[in-house]
Amino acid sequence: MSERLLNMLGLMRKASSIEIGETNTGIVARGGKAKLLILAADASDNAHSRARGFVHGRDIVSITLPFTKEEISFHVGLHGCSMAAITDIGFANAFIKGLAQEYPERYSEAAARVEEKFIRAQQRKKEMAAHERNKRIGKRRTNV
């Protein structure tokens, strides 16, 4: 299971759905695009402090992974990755669900928060599609 989660990080990088490193993570967190902020298990105290600053006052879930910087770096293809931000809500939801299955006592609360955000995003997407359809063909009205 852990290998599958680490491979998912590499897949996110190929899909450009993850920003890696403190600078890039800070940019997407401040810009409101980050859905899930992840830290390596052996991240420094400074990295933890900066991550708390990035999520303070924002609706971003932050977690510390059970993986080391070396493991994460190997799978994403960059050296020294201690912090990253997942920018796609679908990937964030799948990743945190996998973590919650493997470590339920540690990640179940965060998984519930991300799942809630995922459901809201799907609802907004459906509403937007209905709106676009109504703009094109008009909403049909029935005579009552």
Q: Tell me what pLDDT residue 77 has.
A: 84
Distance in angstroms (rounded) separating the CA atoms of residues 2 and 72: 11
CATH assignment, 2-137: 3.30.1330.30
- Residues 121 and 106: their CA atoms lie apart, in Å, by 25
* pLDDT at residue number 1: 63
Tokens, residue 89: 């809500």
pLDDT at 136: 78
Q: Give the pLDDT confidence score for residue 50 in this predicted structure.
A: 93
CA nearest 21: which of 77, 60, 66? 77
Beta bridge partners of 20: 84
Which strands sit side by side in the sheet containing 61-64, from one edge to the other? Answer: 18-20, 83-86, 36-39, 61-64
H-helix segments, the chain: 2-14, 22-30, 45-55, 69-76, 89-102, 104-137
| Model pLDDT, residue 78 | 85
Summarised one tens digit per residue, pLDDT across range 44-60 is 999 999 999 999 989 89
Secondary structure element (H or E) that encloses residue 63, with its range: strand 61-64
Q: How far is CA 77 from the centre of its chain?
A: 19
pLDDT along the chain (144 residues), means of 10: 87 93 93 94 93 92 92 87 93 94 92 94 92 78 62
Q: pTM of the prediction?
A: 0.85
Residue 43 sits at the vertex; the CA angle it makes with 81 and 109, to the nearest 5 degrees, is 100
pLDDT at 130: 86
What is the C-alpha separation between 24 and 116, in angstroms, rounded? 25
